[in-house]
Each structure stands twice: as structure tokens, then as C-alpha cells.
Chains A and B, each alone.
Chain A
Amino acid sequence: MKKKVASAMAVSAALSVFLAACGSNGDNGNGANASPSSSQPAASDASPSPSPSASAPASESASPEKAENFTVSLRHIQIGDAQKFRKAILDDVVKKTESEVPGLKFELDGVEDSVNRFTKLPAEMAAGNPPKIMDIFGGAGDTQKYAKAGRLLDLTPILDELGLKDKFLNVLEPFSVDGKVYGLPIGGNTEGIFYNTDIFAKYNLNPPTTWDDLIKAADTLKKNNVAPFAAGSKDAWVPNMLVNTLIGRIAGENTNSGFITGQSKWNSPDVVAAYQMIADWEKKGYYPKGELGKAYADMLTDFVAGKAGMMFDGSWRSSAFKDDAVGKDISGKVAFVSLPPIPNGKGNQTSVNANYGEGYGFSSDLNENELKAVKAFIKNMYSDEMQLRGLLEDGVLPSMKLSDESIAQVTDPVVKQVLDVLKNAGTTFPHFDSVVQSKVYTETETQLTKLIAGKATPQEVGNAIQKAQDAENAAAAK
């Protein structure tokens, strides 16, 4: 037994050296391809330490003794074909970091987004053994809860050390507790309507930029046996995106952030009206049959196959319509708009949802080596270069301040439309999933599914969620 372990370790040591070697090569190649200009020098200018690539790890590696090998677990959610651009960026950061930190080998563990967020991480956090680096969401249900329980690493000193503190847009709030930062959003997005321009042209429809045009488009498509909206309601967070925007528009843009303070209520007439709209659309048949059996990936598949004319999705999906991506079949035939102004809505009807909700968090349980690895990972992942790559390759909006020249490099038409949507927005509001407690959020999913299945009325949905909200607010006040 002992012997086996020893030999396995020897092999893995050899392997990690080999991989590290490949890693640095591969990284150079990709980096050169992806960002031909500016980003690298920009990073070093901004950083107070003499040279960012040498900051944390290099100083330690100067020590004479041979580096011992160690692994750092890294939980990511970039699995499947649709995530491949994001995964490529992650892979490059991993390779680069491994080449910089002697002896480091990342152990990547890819888990599907909602499984990670709602099943794996909560359990691991409860157990006190989360991965050292993990994909994490901001807000009371995720980062803030875990930070309060002492599970997450306080990143404030690291941000100071790396000079990253002022590089971020004003997006760290959901990842902060008492002014300390526990997670870093990787990028941002807004949720809106993708529509198939070919199908709209075929049925002579105007782009869905006004409410009347949207409804007319939906009715026309329905009549012609094309699903107006593609759906992925088996994963309830997917229809929850539209719920969120409807609440922001119908009940007001401050509603979502008011649930935890008690200023807004889930069962108030305005919020119920938002759910009522979902129920009405269900009744009108705006969604394909069997939508509760369709997962998030199916939504894209149906949309790409032309089975649906529109889909309400996050702007991150824009990367799926590139020439070499899963949605290449309709590349160039997709446009993105925000939800048009809703008649009689109480909110600012130019407001859009903007999320900087997903990023990386780090376990508070780190030894010295692991801390080095984490620092190097942060330095490499949260760089101008990777932010720009995220925007250009993956259509993810930067969470850090990028120069106008960098942003001007965007050529992808859909990403440009996304940027336009945000530029034209009067104001923005967050997704409630980064605001409310996790039990409340889970309840919104449970109830929304019931609403879609016709097993609950909008009022019942509002009441049930508010009940969970009351319980959580009471518990938080204690």
C-alpha cells in the first residue's frame, strides 16, 4: 500500500513538472493570439509592486530549498460545449499560475452550475471542507453567508497587495461583509431578449423593442407553430431571470433589494402582478410544451434549431452564437434587446438588470503554499488581459475598469448590442438571487415551477415566498 502511494506520488510529481512545462508554452501561444495589444503592459503599470508577474510567487521561489509539490483544488462550472471559451480562459490562468508557483498543481473539478451552487457548495461549506478555490455567487445566500460563517478567505489584504483594490467597478458589494471582500466577480451580464432575426423577417415582425411589438411577435409566432420563447424551466433559475426583470419593471427597480429589509413584499400586488404576467404567458402558450422537462442547455438548442423565435437569457449567452460555437448555425442571425417598457409599470422602464454576481471565492483554510497559489491565481485571473479576453471571446462584461480602447476592440455584433443596452439603461437593478437568503431563493424556484405547472396561483406563489422571507428575516434579526 505504502509503496503504491509513493510511486503514485512520484508519477504525479513527474507529471506536474511536465504539465507545468507544457502549460507555460501553451499559455504564451494563446495569450499572444487572444490579446495582441496593450493588456500586459497596462497590468504592470497599474500594479504598485515592481512587476506583477513576479510579485507574490517569484519572491518566495527565490528561496533555495526545492519546492515541494502540492495540489490546490479548484471548483469551476465551465463544463460542456457552451462554456468552452470561459474554460479556455480558466485553463490559461491555471497553466500560467502553475508555471509561476513552484510545485503547484491545480486539481480542477468541473460541476454543473446549479449543482455546484445549490447542492455541492452548501454541503461542503457546512462540512467546512470547500474547495480551496471555488466558483461562487455573491449575495446573502452565498458569499455573505459563508463569509459570516468564517468559511471564506478575506481578500482585502490581497487586493491591497496586488493593487487591485481600485481596479474593480463598483461591484464588490454582494461579495463583501463589513467592508471586507470575500469574493471577486469575474464579470457581469444583463438579462434580456435574444431574438432570431431570420424568423422575425420571415413573419414580417418588428424587433421586440416596444411592448406591442413584443406581444405581436409572440402571438404571430404562436399562430405559426413556432414557440415564441424557448424555455429551460427544468432548471428553475432560467425562468426566474424573466421574473426578476418583470419585478424590477412592474414593481420598481428597488423592489428586489428591498425583500431582505422588509421594504418590499413578495405578496404585494405589484410583485404578484409580475408573477401574473408569467402565468398569462404560460396560458397563452408562449412557451414550448414540456418546458418543465427542458434544461438550460435545451433552451439554447431549441433557439438555435429555430424552434423558438426568442429567448430570455443572460448576455453571457452571446458567445454561443460565434462562428465556432454551439450556436454557430444561427451565427449572425441573432440580436439582443432589453425587455421593452411595460405599460403601467411602476419602475423606471429604461432600467435593466445588471449582475456582477458570479466569480471566485477562496477557502479560509489555506496553508502557506496554498495562499501563494491563491494570490497568483487572483493576479492572473483578475488582470486586464483576462477581463478583455472574457469580453472579446466570451461576451462577458468586465467587472474591472477597462480602457475605452480595450472596449472598442469589441467586434461581435451581439456583444455590441449588449453594451448598448447597458449604455442606454436609465438605471440598473440586481438579480434577487444575489440579494435574498438561499432558502428564500430556493423557495422562489419551487414556487415558480408550481406556477408554470399550473399548481399554484400568482398570489399563492407570492404568499409562500413571503412566508419563507419572513422566517429568514426574523432569523437574521435575532
Chain B
Amino acid sequence: MFKTLIKPTLILGTIGLISSLTLSYINKLTKPEIEKRLQKKKDEAYAAVLPQQLGYIIVEKDKRVLIDGQEFVYTRAEKKDGERNINAYAFEIAKRGYSGLIRSIVAVDENMKILGLSIIQQTETPGLGARVKEMISKETFFSHFFGNAAETAEQNAQSWFEQQFIGLDCTKQIGILKKGEFSTASEEYKKELLEKNSVSAITGATITTKAVIDSIAEGIEKLKKAIDQEKHSQNAIHKEGKTP
């Protein structure tokens, strides 16, 4: 009885206890660092999708509304254009890609044109889907290690995959063209992409590309509803104000 039942239980329990204590300690140790990085990444993503040169200033950060029973968080930014205020919206979207959620932050202007997109989390296949975060770099292995070419790529916070979304119209379906990747695209091809309201797929990772596009469409639907709600509530306030 003791040898076959109680002793093994005690040993297994002790080892489980020790390991969970160790892990909770490590977790406590690393948690602030992980959270700091996540917050920094989010801040950077917001800065990347609403770049300063566009002139938008964030007015309402992280507004929470209920859309179809689900919480939707968005940020509203404004810029002054003569008399009028132009709105821009940034929000977080997520959709399952090839392996796991792809979370990104996207910013659109009033006409639902994309101002910027930044992918903040993905677990796609390295070398395929994970190339959504690939930077365009002219630097070669030899020039980096042997220094025979001084040309270093300009610092750009966004990958080529994210860049190609800028200027696309979200009121229409965003298409996928498979004629080569944006990173090596010619000027005509870039023009064609913009005309056809399309992005170039990452070779071998169409599912990833499609997931990002679908998540944008879903996010836009929610955003439209959120804007409607806001208008309704504002109208209601106006009416209440008028009635004596």
C-alpha cells in the first residue's frame, strides 16, 4: 500500500509543487518585462499607423463599446483641415492565420482608406507567413560582414507587407494579386495593386495574407457600427438638451 500508492503520490506531488513554485517565481520575475514590451509594441504600432506627418492627434484613446455583445476598442484621432475636423480611427483586429492568431492595429480615415497597418502579434511559419514582418533591406551578407558597401537600408518601422496596405479602400473588398511580392515589385505593379485595391500575397503564405485582409474587413464592420452608435448617442444628447 505505502510503496505502490502513497509514496509515488507524495513524490509526484512534491515534484509538482516544487516545479510550480519555481515557475511562479520565474513568471513574477519576467512578467513586468513582458508587459512592458507588449505595451511598448502597442504604442509603437499606434505611432506607426498614425504617423506624425499626417497630422492626426489622438483625441480619445482606447474607447470601449459593445458591438453585438462583444467589446470593441478603438482610438479616435483628429486633424484640423480649415474649418472642419477630420477624423481618423485606429483599432485592433485579430484573426486566425495559418497557425494561431494574427493581431494587428490598423488606422483608417473617415472614408475608410487605410492610413497604416501594423502587425503586433503572429505565430506564423518562420520563413513563410512570418515574413509579414520582413523588412526591405538592401544590405547583403557580404556587405554587412566585410563592409565593402556603405549603403545601409533606411530605417523604416514597417515591413513591406504592412506598407502595401496604405491607401487601400476598405469599403470595397481588398483583393490579392499573385504576380510577385511587393518588396521586389516594379512601379507599374505597385500602381496596378493600388488600382485594383489589392495587396501582393506572400509567396507560400496566402492563408496569412487572407487572414489579415479578412480581419480588416471584420474590424471595419465593427468600426462602422461603433461610429453609428456614437452618432446615435450624440443625437440623443442633443435632443435631450433641446427638450425643456
Do A and B truly interact? no
A→B interface (CB under 8 Å): none
